[in-house]
Amino acid sequence: MKTFDIPIIYRSPLISAIKTKRKLLDRMKKDFSPTFLDFGPVQIMLPRHFGFCYGVENAIEIAFRTVEENPDKRIFLLSEMIHNPHVNKDLRDRGVRFIMDTSGKQLLPWEEITSEDIVIIPAFGTTKEIESHLQDIGIETNQYNATCPFVERVWNKAASIADKDYTVIIHGKPGHEETRATFSHSQIHCPTVIVRNMKEAENLAGFILGKRPAAEFYEAFAGQYSQGFNVEKDLERVGVVNQTTMLAYETQAIADFFKKVMEEKYGSPEKNVHEHFAETKDTLCYATNDNQNSILDILHEKADLAIVVGGYNSSNTSHLVELCEQKFKTYFISSEEKLLSRDEVLHWDFSLKEEISTSGYLPEKEPLQVIITSGASCPDALVENVIRKLLTFYGLDDKIDDMIALYSN
């Protein structure tokens, strides 16, 4: 697989050494067991896969290369390049300006952008409407397009099943940039509707099976269906694609569910099912799968707590938190700075939707066993910084170099 030139500030000597050795020992990526770092009083478990994915490294390389090669140009990003505050701050510090926030709210008026400017499309991609608007301004949308190739693959799959007269069901978060982009690209080809979870899939099934009045659909899925959607006709043939950062097993469960719904409505013979349901398993992102499967494997281990590092608005990172919480007390932090002391941590609370402080997060025991992982938009350097900060609380920070040497041999 291609390697990317990303700033050295995002690299980690420790994590790079570990990942390189694991790759050499397991080139086919069949071993999802964690890496154990034994520092004596503190033992750290790292999942087999975590951190920057292909799409993120591709986007970062494009963004920083664009800045370096165009010192005399004004450079804009449609929205956050990726969902990591440190990377986005680094780009702002280099003069890059953001046109919108992650929800699509305008930060700069379109009138400020000219054909002489550079506009970078972020890793999530963008809508056809915004692409058209940029082209009207005179912006070349392909030259600085950092859309993840795996997101584009979802768009291609949606178009492919649309050509066979299927309606596209997107499993995603309606407000997320990637889902908004996928919805926009899909609805050009066919009727499209978004379901955010299994509960909404079950609600949609009620309309497919005629168990709910068709008129209720438009309120139940307000803002989540394409213009002109005909609930009585457009749900006869469906296929499922996903926002690539969703829980992979949940997407698969939703696809399997709709297949069974079609079996119930149209009969179980395989021919009948395929006439009404399109198989679309290959829209699941490999990195999302690997990162999530690595956490599912680590759930079999014993640990005192888990620390997940990443941007608080990162969808893929939030799902890693969700998985860890199935077994471990889990703290979602954006950087090592949130580890205030051995007693206090600042971390994100999903129910409150805010950062909160928790005392006594590190149990008084030895050895302390801690799982540390990160989302696909989090630099490995931040993970190493978290490990170093944790070790300083126990006077073990001088042991990092020994661990780097161990994995470098």
CA distance 267 to 244: 31
Question: 384 near 15, Cβ under 8 Å?
Answer: yes
Nearest to 44 by CA among 389, 395, 370: 370
- Options 131, 178, 200, 384, the catalytic residue: 178
CA distance 217 to 235: 11
CA distance 46 to 390: 14
| Known catalytic residue at 301 | no
Nearest to 192 by CA among 182, 200, 202, 205: 182
**DSSP code of residue 337:** G
**DSSP code of residue 285:** -
Question: 161 near 239, Cβ under 8 Å?
Answer: yes
CA distance 261 to 130: 36
Alpha helices in 118-176 (DSSP H): 128-137, 149-162
Sole residue written with tokens 């005399």: 72
Q: What angle do CA 278, 280, 281 make, to 5 degrees?
A: 140
Active site residues: 178
